[in-house]
Amino acid sequence: MQRLALVAVAFFAACAPIDDDGNIDTDIQGLTGAARRPRLQRIRDVAAAAGLTNGVLLAGIAQVETGLSHCWSEATWACRGPNSTSCGGGPVIAGASDGPCSAQQGGLGMFQFDGGNFSQTLARDGRDILTLDGNIRHAVDFVVTIVDQEVAGVDNRAEALAWMNGMTVARTDARFTRWVAILACRYNGACGSASQAARYRDATLSVQSEVGAAFWRICAPSTEVCNGRDDDCDGRVDDGIAAVSCGVGACRRTASCTGGRMATCTAGRPVAEVCNGVDDDCDGRVDDGIAAVSCGVGACRRTVSCTSGRMAACVPAAARAEACGNGADDDCDGMIDEGCAGDAGAPLRDAGAMVGDAGAPADAAGTRDGGVAGDDAGASDAGGESDAGASDDAGESDDGGAEDTDAAVTDEDGGEPTVDESLVDVAPTEVTTCDVGAAGSRGGARGSIVAALVLGAVATQRSRRRRR
């Protein structure tokens, strides 16, 4: 970047009309007539090629500094500077307010670059400033620098160009007012000078109206890109450039063109998914994997899930009276069919085994009740068959089934046993099992055996008496 000296630039010899700030009195000096339009056009085109499409801003500076003159031949009252090809090999215009022309001091060319004497200025800015186009390009670089330094929010060349290109040249425009104040301070060294700011303002408005506002909208249309320029020549810089997006769901981010630069797009970081209608974990699905919520028990149990970004309140159903036999917890107390009566058709429990029942269970001692003959069990039938196996005292069976023989029941003396008739006065039909008790009762079982043995003995004795 090339810098102009921040001191008053007085460039002309004592014979030249110079104002109190060291500038040419542009009402008297500078290019006139037909020579002005080509010079304004050159400023416009070279500035646009360097990125400044609002070239009238430079034209206003050139009008204040030299009245658009670049070569000594266009202002012979000035000092002669170094020779230039843009001047037909002749000298460029040079300022002389810093001393006599022989001292070779003051600014060079249309925009008056001044680094001390001629040699020092050329050493700093290069010989390119001696050409008309080079002088314009260096002027663009200089205003980019001062805007970058003076305007808040402008941090680079592209942003500085965008700030200037977006400016409206009008007395009522706040940015234009700020612009001429910057020029008065940084270009002319008259910081805070309202009169010098007004000079730049009036000169700029003058050259704009001289050729018309449309004249300054020079552009070769191309696709608009993010570069701080009006590429499509619609008067707007970096317009219509699509933003760049990255990431999905809550992680989605968007970067746009700002100050002639496209910001880097960096996706956000995923977080745990919650029920809010947002893809929090950034997997492309909204409210996924969120567990349903249940409440209540039995028939009152209800379940709610995340729907449309909201988790409904879980409210259990109302309990009702328990209904028997439906397998449901109707009253919602965690138990099914409680308090219901048993099945009326279920069999009752057995009160005990009956004496003489062949299927009765054994008593506690293991002796079975079944098989003991009743009062008819051992009697001979009409055909004279003997009884079938009453046991003697020794427990041995007699000759079961021997035809026309006695049962051989004897007492210890070999005779017939003596039976106390009083023990059998009760008819056999009066002996029942009602007094025996429950099956397995030790006392009841033994009583049954004794009664059976007595009845058997009586029956045998009576049978023998009849045969006798």
> Which pLDDT score, from 0 to 100, does residue 280 have?
94
Asked if the model's pLDDT at residue 99 lies above 90, the reply is: no
- Of the pLDDT bands very low, low, confident and very high (cuts 50, 70, 90), residue 97 is low
**Which has more pLDDT, 227 or 405?**
227
Burial class (CB in 10 A: 0-12, 13-18, 19+), 268: middle
CB 265 within 8 Å of CB 243: no
Asked if the model's pLDDT at residue 459 lies above 50, the reply is: yes
- Average pLDDT, stretch 147-171? 93
For the entire predicted model, the pTM comes to: 0.47
pLDDT per position as a tens digit, 66-75 = 999 999 999 8
Asked if the model's pLDDT at residue 432 lies above 60, the reply is: no
> Which pLDDT score, from 0 to 100, does residue 305 have?
93
What number of other Cβ atoms are within 10 A of residue 64's Cβ? 27
> Which pLDDT score, from 0 to 100, does residue 252 have?
94
CB 66 within 8 Å of CB 30: yes
- CA distances 258 to 15, 78, 165, 173, 252, Å, are 50, 45, 14, 22, 19
- Of the pLDDT bands very low, low, confident and very high (cuts 50, 70, 90), residue 460 is low
- What is the DSSP track for 272-335? ---SSSS-TT-SS-SSTTPPPEEE--GGG-EEE-EETTEEPPP-PPPP-PPPTTS-S-TT-SS-
CB 306 within 8 Å of CB 298: no
Helix (H, G, I), strand (E, B) or coil at 91: strand
Which amino acid is residue 135, in one-letter code? N
pLDDT per position as a tens digit, 235-252 = 788 999 999 999 999 999
Annotate 174-188 with b (16+ C-beta within 10 A) or e (fewer).
eebeebbbbbbbbbb
Of 23-37, 123-137, 260-274, 288-302, the range with the lowest mean pLDDT is: 23-37
pLDDT per position as a tens digit, 347-366 = 434 444 444 444 444 444 44
> Which pLDDT score, from 0 to 100, does residue 214 have?
85
Asked if the model's pLDDT at residue 106 lies above 90, the reply is: no
| Cα–Cα distance, 224 to 250 (Å, whole number) | 31
> Which pLDDT score, from 0 to 100, does residue 72 have?
94
Of 4-8, 232-236, 293-297, 302-306, the range with the lowest mean pLDDT is: 4-8
Short-list 167, 164, 162, 199, CA closest to 181: 199
> Which pLDDT score, from 0 to 100, does residue 78 have?
87
- Of the pLDDT bands very low, low, confident and very high (cuts 50, 70, 90), residue 343 is very low
- What is the DSSP track for 18-78? B-TTS-B-TTTSS--GGGHHHHHHHHHHHHHHTT---THHHHHHHHHHHTT--BGGG-TTB
Sign of the torsion formed by the C-alpha atoms of 444, 445, 448 and 453? negative
Asked if the model's pLDDT at residue 267 lies above 50, the reply is: yes
* Helix, strand, coil percent values for the chain (each to nearest 5): 30, 10, 60
> Which pLDDT score, from 0 to 100, does residue 342 have?
57
Which residues of 306-463 form beta strands (DSSP E)?
306-307, 310-311
